[in-house]
């Protein structure tokens, strides 16, 4: 369910025509619907009513401060994977006791910040990290609540690049080794193992891999509890898929119901780290056709957004629906929608049937709220697009378009180069 719909042949975000947003803020521009975000969050969160749980929204999907503040205001916690994400979550007012920190390569300064802020859980992913965490705790003189991210060796049947819970992946620690590590820190003065975590992949469209993961976390939890390790939190990560085209992912209610069945009366607090399911269908990338180029073989709609703005089609061959902002034309033609970047991977759609457009018309690239802006870059020295949040009739600029000044700010021409000494 989202709030991007045609009204009298014009595509709206909530009560605002996208055409108006494109004209006012320029294109390309990311547009998010606050109503959709709020709805997705509350549907997901309330689905778990009945068992103790904390929803820790995964910042990597979209970490705009306005979006974080909005979700924080609804009670969301945060799943972070870097110093930057941790700082942003705190800046947006998300309380440390609702923040979990995942990631295979946390550096010492990242662990230090997490320890000092006393966050809910540091999800440790290797023996080396556990050692480093202990050193940091001793130096800082502070305890740390941690979980070990286990790798339950489950195939989530999604794109290989976003599969994380198989033994061959770099993530987590095999259950047997994890168990040994837990036992090795039993009673430690600084390291407090209070949780078990896992995250098996993203854009998962079936329930069974999740249920398998919960079962293996539960088994381990029970074994650890009986060895005197007071496991309180089971963190099952994110990963619930969304419809981009005609996929039919489980509804959050169904997902929650089946998970709750396994956990009821078990006295654990469940932690969830959803990203895509909250923001994915809350945002679109609005772009304008610069040129229509016909070759002997094809028709290209050359648009002003590019792979640097939304890399998912280039990187994962991902499908994003593309809708004309003016929906009155019904005749469809087959086109490739491509950006201006100098790479053949710079495409949004190939051989797609889209209603016939003219140069200057706008297109909405749908389902771009997750892993859109957050994976954008400045390749080809393109400033990243602005972001606009719509709520009812109101539009708020929540990130300015990057300027050429922004792009050159950190570069330095040494005197030696200026004076031709090099």
Calculate the CA dihedral of residues 69, 376, 349, 320 and round it to 10 degrees.
Answer: -20
Bridge partners for 79 per DSSP: 58, 100
Judged on CB neighbours under 10 Å (0-12, 13-18, 19+), 286 is buried
Q: List residues near ligand LLP by CB under 6 A.
A: 58, 60-61, 79, 102, 162, 199, 202-203, 237-240, 273-277, 312, 316, 370-371, 375
Bridge partners for 80 per DSSP: 101
Q: How far is the CB of 373 from ligand LLP (least distance, A)?
A: 11
User: What is the rounded CA–CA span in Å between residue 132 and residue 107?
Assistant: 9
Q: How far is the CB of 285 from ligand LLP (least distance, A)?
A: 13
Q: How far is the CB of 205 from ligand LLP (least distance, A)?
A: 11
Using left for φ > 0, alpha for ψ between -120 and 50, and beta otherwise, residue 359 falls in: beta
Pair 146, 120: CB distance under 8 Å: no
Whole-Å CA distances, 420 to 124, 410, 416:
50, 21, 6
3-state SS assignment for residue 326? strand
Whole-Å CA distances, 116 to 89, 141, 211, 254, 266:
15, 9, 34, 38, 31
Judged on CB neighbours under 10 Å (0-12, 13-18, 19+), 277 is buried
Nearer to ligand LLP, 106 or 288 (CB): 106
Pair 340, 305: CB distance under 8 Å: no
Q: How far is the CB of 319 from ligand LLP (least distance, A)?
A: 11
Nearer to ligand LLP, 33 or 123 (CB): 123
Q: How far is the CB of 10 from ligand LLP (least distance, A)?
A: 29
Residues 6+ apart with CB under 8 A from 205: 157, 158, 241, 247, 248, 249, 250
Nearer to ligand LLP, 35 or 199 (CB): 199
Nearer to ligand LLP, 242 or 354 (CB): 242
Q: Please say whether the dihedral angle defined by the alpha carbons of residues 81, 87, 88 and 92, taken in this order, is positive or negative.
A: positive
3-state SS assignment for residue 12? strand
Instruction: List the catalytic residue out of 56, 137, 342, 395.
Output: 342
Q: How far is the CB of 385 from ligand LLP (least distance, A)?
A: 17
Nearer to ligand LLP, 181 or 375 (CB): 375
Query: Per-residue DSSP letters for 181-244?
Result: HHHHTTT-SSEEEEEEE---BSSB--SHHHHHHHHHHHHHHHHHHHTT----EEE----B---S
Q: How far is the CB of 18 from ligand LLP (least distance, A)?
A: 23
Q: What is the CA radius of gyration of the chain?
A: 23
Q: Is 395 a catalytic residue?
A: no
Q: How far is the CB of 371 from ligand LLP (least distance, A)?
A: 3
User: What is the rounded CA–CA span in Å between residue 176 and residue 183?
Assistant: 11
* Residues carrying an active site annotation: 342
């Amino acid at each position: 369910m989202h709030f991007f719909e045609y009204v009298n042949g014009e595509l709206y975000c909530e009560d605002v025509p996208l055409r108006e947003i494109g004209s006012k803020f320029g294109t390309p521009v990311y547009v998010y619907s606050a109503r959709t975000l709020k709805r997705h969050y509350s549907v997901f969160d309330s689905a778990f009513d009945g068992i103790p749980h904390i929803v820790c929204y995964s910042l990597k999907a979209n970490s705009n401060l306005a979006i974080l503040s909005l979700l924080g205001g609804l009670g969301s916690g945060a799943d972070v994977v870097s110093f930057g994400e941790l700082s942003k979550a705190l800046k947006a007012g998300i309380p440390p006791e609702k923040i979990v920190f995942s990631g295979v390569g946390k550096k010492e300064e990242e662990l230090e910040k997490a320890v000092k802020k006393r966050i809910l859980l540091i999800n440790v992913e290797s023996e080396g990290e556990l050692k480093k965490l202990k050193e940091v705790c001793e130096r800082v003189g502070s305890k740390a609540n941690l979980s070990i991210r286990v790798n339950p060796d489950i195939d989530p049947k999604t794109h290989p690049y976003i599969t994380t819970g198989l033994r061959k992946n770099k993530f987590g620690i095999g259950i047997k080794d994890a168990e040994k590590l837990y036992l090795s820190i039993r009673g430690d003065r600084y390291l407090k193992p209070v949780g078990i975590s896992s995250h098996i992949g993203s854009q998962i469209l079936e329930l069974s891999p999740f249920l398998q993961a919960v079962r293996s976390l539960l088994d381990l939890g029970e074994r650890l509890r009986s060895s005197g390790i007071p496991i309180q939190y089971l963190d099952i990560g994110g990963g619930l898929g969304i419809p981009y085209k005609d996929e039919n992912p489980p509804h959050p209610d169904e997902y929650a119901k089946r998970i709750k069945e396994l956990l009821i009366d078990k006295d654990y607090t469940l932690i969830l780290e959803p990203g895509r399911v909250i923001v994915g269908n809350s945002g679109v990338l609005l772009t304008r056709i610069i040129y229509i180029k016909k070759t002997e073989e094809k028709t290209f709609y050359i648009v002003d957004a590019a792979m640097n703005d939304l890399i998912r089609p280039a990187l994962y061959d991902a499908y994003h629906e593309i809708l004309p902002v003016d929906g009155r034309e019904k005749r469809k033609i087959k086109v490739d929608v491509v950006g201006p970047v100098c790479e053949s991977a710079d495409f949004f759609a190939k051989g797609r049937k889209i209603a016939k457009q003219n140069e200057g018309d706008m297109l909405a690239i749908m389902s771009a709220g997750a892993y859109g802006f957050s994976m954008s870059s400045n390749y080809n020295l393109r400033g990243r697009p602005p972001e606009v949040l719509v709520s009812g009739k109101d539009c708020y600029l929540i990130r300015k378009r990057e300027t050429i000044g922004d792009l050159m700010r950190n570069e330095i021409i040494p005197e030696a180069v200026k004076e031709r000494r090099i």
